[in-house]
Chains A and B, each alone.
Chain A
């Protein structure tokens, strides 16, 4: 066991080499502690010592080699000019207990989560969030929702532009369509609904109504292709996809990956997405966040991190999608900085911590049954370096026209032509996006290209305050506070549960308003035989194997 104070050559600045000093918390008493992130046996660990509860060591990332590559893509981030907590005189020095956001926070809101209910039609064993009979019901009114979202649109220098409507199960709210309209009306470009997909499967009209109201994407749980790995919605997903297809509403599949539970189906999930690429826009894997009191052995058994998921995908896709094809999310920030320098306007900048997420895009050639990750024919590193160079030139006052011409001429050099799929002109696409700010071609590309992302939310065992200060996926609360995902969910006792309880109505009041309705009545009871016999089910899992296994 390492003692934080005894480790030498520790880096302290963000994205420094290992060993690296950061701050964490005691999993038991919440005390903020010095922590060390270090390498041991090829893995990255985080360790700290609480004066009362002793040392705790936890896997931080499963590959030190990959960590060393990822940290180089860090971005310093954009701080908010008008953080909420500063307006009431709080500096954030007691992070993560001053949250709201404060002036210490280093990323603007990229995606805001709006919880619209804690009711759910499922009762998953691992979920602690949904209301049981007798529990208070949290359901902000439309007016509350409007003022909550308005706060996000007031953020400067970059206003939040993407909102995820979540729950509980948001489709249980009869006014969900109204909520989407409110978000659109306030100027959110991107509205996505996070759902288990059951109501979308059962009610074909819902997908159409959501699409018409302005929903851009459905963000749907999907933990595996077999019933065993995905007991939640295995039988309903085919019908939901069918209805979304009819409504022309794209979907991102969201598997929560737990080692020993569904990690053997990571490749299968991607293959499923490729088979439904006409409607599936992406897959966003979420390595499990371990909540509650869990013994070390059980954590060891279930813990999986981003490099672990990527390694398994490489293995299960027979190398079609490899480690090298994935980049940490901030890789894209040079594009934001370039566009900002070119247009003079602050841009959306995905400056989250490099260890929080990774992604790639893959191109599907249906005829050849082959999958080509875009980094195989695009020199991502070379292109980003070139953009950084041009950004500096723009900052120094060089002519925009000359830079645009140079960029157009140079772009081809970053594309390996012989590996580029036929009919796929990435050069034109990039030029249109960077110079003309025309993203319509990118939209059309979605039918041939699949996004594969990883987003690892932390828990009390692997908590890194440096990471949470760069979080760009936030929650908005009815008291107006905006709280990072991993603060909201890791400290429910002072944020999520506490504040939502304060703004809930009692169960009896809810029953009175809903004419004696019971939460039990809303629980979904499936008829497996009926679902199994639908043409959509029979078709959806009849898959072409794009990984040649």
Chain B
């Protein structure tokens, strides 16, 4: 699994962040997504996707009011065993 840090332009409110997050989560390959407003940044954990797939996906989510789209730029990525880390964290045995 790979974790991406992504910067998204075009968001004007938390509602937009929620909407992008929901649309990303609809994708089978995205295991975890969290989009932050006002930082306009997000964290995505996915499998079988590369930078281009992620950027394309976000760029295709419609921005209703102006009928435009969001635009995304990948900042960083690292490999992660998300579920293992998540469960360990929950059981109080994680690093953080």
Binding site for B on A (CB under 8 A): 29-33, 51-52, 82, 84, 87-90, 93-94, 97-98, 147, 150-151, 154, 479-481, 493-494, 498, 501-502
**B90:A151 contact, CB within 8 angstroms:** yes
Whole-angstrom distance between the alpha carbons of A32 and B37 in the complex?
14
B34: interface (CB < 8 Å): yes
Binding site for A on B (CB under 8 A): 14-15, 17-19, 21-23, 25-26, 28, 31, 33-36, 62, 64-65, 83, 85-87, 89-92, 94, 96
Q: What residues of chain B lie closer than 8 Å to A82, measured between beta carbons?
A: 92
- Indicate which residue in A93, A147, A498 contacts B87 across the interface (CB closer than 8 Å): A147
Nearest chain B CB to A479 CB, angstrom units: 5
Nearest chain A CB to B86 CB, angstrom units: 5
Do A88 and B18 form a contact, CB below 8 Å, given A52-B64, A480-B83, A494-B25?
Answer: no
Do A51 and B90 form a contact, CB below 8 Å, given A30-B22, A94-B21?
Answer: no
Closest 6 CB pairs of A and B: A494-B25, A87-B89, A51-B64, A480-B87, A94-B18, A32-B18
Whole-angstrom distance between the alpha carbons of A147 and B84 in the complex?
12
Do A494 and B22 form a contact, CB below 8 Å, given A31-B15, A32-B15, A94-B34?
Answer: yes
**B19:A154 contact, CB within 8 angstroms:** no
Whole-angstrom distance between the alpha carbons of A501 and B90 in the complex?
22
**A94:B35 contact, CB within 8 angstroms:** yes
Whole-angstrom distance between the alpha carbons of A498 and B22 in the complex?
13
**B90:A84 contact, CB within 8 angstroms:** yes
Chain A's closest residue to B83 (CB) is A479
Q: What residues of chain B lie closer than 8 Å to A151, measured between beta carbons?
A: 87, 90-91
Nearest chain A CB to B47 CB, angstrom units: 9
Do A98 and B96 form a contact, CB below 8 Å, given A31-B18, A84-B90, A479-B87?
Answer: no
The 25 listed contacts between A and B (C-beta, < 8 Å) are A31-B18, A31-B19, A32-B18, A51-B64, A51-B65, A52-B62, A52-B64, A84-B86, A84-B89, A87-B94, A89-B96, A90-B34, A94-B35, A97-B21, A97-B22, A147-B91, A151-B90, A479-B31, A479-B86, A479-B87, A480-B83, A480-B87, A494-B25, A498-B25, A502-B28
